[in-house]
Amino acid sequence: MRDFPSCFGESGVQVADSSSGSSKTNSNNNNNNQNVVTCVYQCRLGRRSCLITVTWSKGLMGQGLSVGIDDSTNQCICKVDVKPWLFSKKKGCKSFKAGSSKVDVYWDLSSAKFGSGPEPLEGFYLAVVSDREMVLLLGDSKKEVYKKTNALPMPPNSRFITKREHIYGKRVYGTKAQFCDNGQIHDIRIECDAIAISDPCLSIRIDGKIVMQVKRLRWKFRGNQTILVDGLPVDVFWDTHNWLFGLTPGNAVFMFQTCLSAEKLWANDAPSDPAVLSWSSSQVFRDSHLQGLDFSLILYATKNE
């Protein structure tokens, strides 16, 4: 296996999406004032496979939403941006043409309830419809969205493949994730005091239980280990170089990959330039399709001063 650390430069991890004009989020453009969650879904648009990237953001100016649709060749089909809700509508619809098909994006977040993050928890819907076919449906207001869109009452053929999230803390970093369809939503906590302790230890808890510990972290600041979640093997990759050695941006990167063939992914698809690791949505789609990968959770953990 090609070691996980060899994919990164000594300047730390820079996870950036390809600049193809599609709806991608570059982690380097985010700062401590904005929390961003990007979710990627594999869907079918007519007879074509496509990726739908949904980005939720929360900053000083309010909540924001971006929806982009890309085909499997990384070509942008359409994109819609809902500016921070302080200045824009919380519900609406935008229509596009994709070849001979009409694509409609509907959203209603006027009654949405939020937790500490930018993603709505309940009281909302986000739907992508093409020729009366429901391509993607998010939220719990399903009756309202079918009435609004006149879509056929068939479940959308979509699969959640990637989630990227920026999390912040001083010693403890937390989020929630669902590692398989219809699976349990788990509480994930990453614990590490990389400044005050001369020999820090990295701990990861799932639902309060320690599932992984890395001692002597200054010597093992990059690596990978396999844990079990819901009876499934989950490969955990980490890079804490910037945490430990004070480089800017001071974020660590963690990836939770529910697959058995992640070794092939890293061995075959590591970039030729070790200073930059690019995880584009389209690349994740192609690798998921070819390698049989399931779900990836990528966390950028930034220390609050």
List per-residue pLDDT tens for the chain, 305 residues long. Answer: 333 333 333 333 333 333 334 334 343 444 445 789 999 999 988 788 889 999 999 888 888 999 999 887 777 888 888 887 766 778 899 998 877 778 999 999 989 998 888 999 999 999 999 988 999 999 998 888 898 998 988 888 888 999 999 998 889 999 988 887 677 889 999 999 866 677 889 999 999 999 999 999 989 999 999 998 888 889 999 999 988 887 665 789 999 998 654 444 444 443 333 333 333 334 443 444 434 457 899 999 998 86
Query: Is the CB of residue 64 less than 8 Å from the CB of residue 83?
Result: yes
Prediction pTM value: 0.76
Residue 143: inside a domain, yes or no?
Answer: yes
Provide the number of structural domains found in the chain.
2
| 143 & 73 share domain | yes
Pick from 129, 160, 191: which residue ends a domain?
160
| 266 & 185 share domain | yes
| 181 & 281 share domain | yes
| 252 & 126 share domain | no
Question: Residue 124 belongs to what domain range?
Answer: 35-160
Residue 26: inside a domain, yes or no?
Answer: no
